[in-house]
Structure 1
């Protein structure tokens, strides 16, 4: 019995609960269909108990789920029992940060929309260090070092030789012009953006000041695409910590929001021109 299920284990249970509820079955009824009881179903749906791919398929059959792609995607969530690199931080950093790294590891692609900061996956070490130093809750030097090393390791998904994760970021011009860490650190950060934008799997776009108000103005969010749209996830940074959203209406809202922001953003080519311009002005 798990006492601290990971975000991925919780999501697996949540998806099984959604299928059961759509079928109009109670946990007791679902347990009876498996020849078991309500406790087993409740523990699976809460992420406290593991579940095999075969049992997931059996439950989906009992729930009359005809979406084979979704069922197979959920079934595959049961098979990865290896400890990820983020587990070495299990007793060091807040659990939601580890869940974020796990989410990124399994994502098919990532979309980022930011206003006041360069996205974490694109930050240089020096830029990230200054961000952590200015955290609302003052961090101790060891805490800063742990968070810094964790952030740098997260960036590895963009550098895999065989299959780097496709990544698209929309960054407001304000974030480009902020001299985080001073002019030298800021220029190095902008050069890093240019270098990263040369990679074929990375797309950078910018919202300029001239756009004025735009859909979702002032809001930052992170969208992780799963193997099927129903398994997408939104991550938000909030004052009380990291929040993950996965309700169907929420996914539709933020998917649409990103597309609307994208429509008013500069092209990747114009974005590179703007970054060069900002660097010259520093």
Structure 2
């Protein structure tokens, strides 16, 4: 079997979870490889996401690792079944792997949660607003690059419009609502778009006003993607050097708690809608 030079985020996560199960069982890669009648390199390549693995083999490994969580085993086995290339793969040569990983996570996510302080969530941005944001990127993007990123952004947003849309909850600080990317008209249209999106049954938009009592966390955008079981959740953070994906149990617990606290501080959905309407009215 030829190893993959560009393993997908999904395959890498499967390998990571198999490694965690092996380590909890107290087995080395060499010991685990003997259970499959192979060599250590095969286990190492599977755990690194370089080799694909069948659902039957996942179940066999989980059995050898004495994993008691059948829901987790079933979820891991299901991660082996997709053979088609995702739409994001057409951007493999032109966009960062972090952006592609994010699109793949959204595609497979069972629910999405996010919190933003100085910018609006990408899945809720209008094309004019997003284009204005991309024009602020440093170093400056050429017009064709901006449009390329726009097409990628629009395709990502499909998870909110498909026949079975993904549940989505967004906490947005008042500061983000008052940013005027693209000027007054673009900003007003963006706020009206938020109001319309918030009326969709699967979308919840919560606003934290300036006069809220505190703000937990560092203020950086948080994006929490739920998997089929809690162990397969992922947190995405925007950092100066690019996108960071976190999946350790302690990290997931930390950001779940931060998001819970942010939602507790925020206005109700109805009050948030009124708040956004008021800002839009006075632009």
Residue 210 (structure 1) shift: 0.3
- One of 15, 18, 27 as aligned partner of 2:17: 15
Residue 217 (structure 1) shift: 4.9
Q: Counterpart of 2:179?
A: 178
- One of 112, 118, 121 as aligned partner of 2:120: 118
The TM-score normalised by the length of structure 2 is 0.98
Q: Which runs of 5+ in 1 are unaligned?
A: none
Secondary structure of 1:211's aligned partner: coil
Count of residues in correspondence between the two structures: 281
* Distance (whole Å) between structure 2 residues aligned to residue 225 and residue 111 of structure 1: 8
Q: Counterpart of 1:166?
A: 167
1:245 aligns with 2:208: no
Residue 136 (structure 1) shift: 2.1
The 5 Å alignment of 1:144-223 reads 144-161=146-163, 163-223=164-224
The 5 Å alignment of 1:48-197 reads 48-161=50-163, 163-197=164-198
1:254 aligns with 2:255: yes
Secondary structure of 1:83's aligned partner: coil
Residue 183 (structure 1) shift: 0.3
Q: Which runs of 5+ in 2 are unaligned?
A: none
The TM-score normalised by the length of structure 1 is 0.98
1:279 aligns with 2:280: yes
Q: Deviations over 1:55-110 (max 9, x none)?
A: 00000000000100001101100001111111111111111111110100000000
Residue 281 (structure 1) shift: 1.2
Q: Counterpart of 2:237?
A: 236
Secondary structure of 2:84's aligned partner: coil
Q: Counterpart of 1:4?
A: 6
Residue 212 (structure 1) shift: 4.6
Q: Counterpart of 1:29?
A: 31
